[in-house]
Amino acid sequence: MDDNAGVVGKEVTRLWRAWRTVHEMVQDRGYILAEEEVKISLDSFRLQYCKDNGEPNREKMTFSASPSEDMMKKYAIEPTAANPNPKVDVGTIYVEFVPDTGSIGVQQMKKFVTFCNEHSHKSGIMVTNSAISAQARRIINGARDYAYIEVFLEEDLLVNITRHELVPKHILLSREEKAALLKRYHLKETQLPRILSKDPIARYLGLKRGNVVKIIRDSETAGRYASYRLCV
């Protein structure tokens, strides 16, 4: 019995860390979250998201957030003659911790996509215990047009990788900034260095194809220097 309590306690701690990382991630992307939501302590997490017997209650572990003004500006699309009122492709984000321990199949993924769609969430983050099936991945790709679904493993979120000292700062450029960069250096998009969209940092920031990130590194000689990468 005591042993079991230890196992459950460990699981709660793991979940708490993943919970915090997800919140930090959502906040770093520019969504509005209250500070006390992000920096929740283990005790208050236990109080809110655990059942009476101490087991974590994943069904309760969902939240949504809406983008801040700055984020809206960053993702803004300049109106053109052909498209005078372009739609901004950011909206509310919905995060869910999947309770099942098995891998995620087609049916579950469909449910998630429909949920996001019904509640008009533009993006959805699924935090799972184990990998999703190949067909479920296909659904994600199929739903790209109306909902941007991301899947993270719980174990990948135990630490926030961007807080590591060896990880340089990555900043997403807005469309305007990207255009200015390309103009200034007389570059074509493809001439920039690249970053894969499956790169952990790219996944953390939710980069899409064509996004450019500015990477600020420390330099022994120059203090700091910036480089730019195109997400592919």
| Chain contacts with another protein (rule: CB under 8 A) | 102-108, 133-135, 138
122-133 per-residue burial string, b: 16 or more CB within 10 A, e: under 16: bbbbbbbbeebe
Q: How far is the CB of 131 from another protein (least distance, A)?
A: 11
Q: Is 210 left (phi over 0), alpha (psi -120 to 50) or beta?
A: left
Name which of 83 and 107 has its Cβ closer to another protein.
107
Q: Is 2 left (phi over 0), alpha (psi -120 to 50) or beta?
A: alpha
Cα 116 to its chain centre, rounded Å, is 15
Q: How far is the CB of 35 from another protein (least distance, A)?
A: 39
Q: How far is the CB of 156 from another protein (least distance, A)?
A: 20
Q: How far is the CB of 4 from another protein (least distance, A)?
A: 15
Q: How far is the CB of 106 from another protein (least distance, A)?
A: 6
Name which of 108 and 174 has its Cβ closer to another protein.
108
Name which of 38 and 106 has its Cβ closer to another protein.
106
Largest CA-CA distance found in the chain, in angstroms, rounded: 69
> In angstroms, rounded to a whole number, what is the distance separating the alpha carbons of residues 201 and 69?
23
Answer whether 2's CB lies under 8 Å from 9's CB: no
> In angstroms, rounded to a whole number, what is the distance separating the alpha carbons of residues 213 and 111?
33
Name which of 83 and 135 has its Cβ closer to another protein.
135
Q: How far is the CB of 139 from another protein (least distance, A)?
A: 9
Q: How far is the CB of 81 from another protein (least distance, A)?
A: 27
Name which of 107 and 117 has its Cβ closer to another protein.
107
Helices 42-49 and 2-29: crossing angle, nearest 10°? 100
The HSE-up count of residue 82 (CA atoms within 13 Å, CB side) is 1
Name which of 13 and 133 has its Cβ closer to another protein.
133
Tokens 């969430």 sit on residue: 121
From residue 195, alpha-carbon distances to 113, 135, 152, 163, 218 in Å are 27, 26, 19, 19, 19
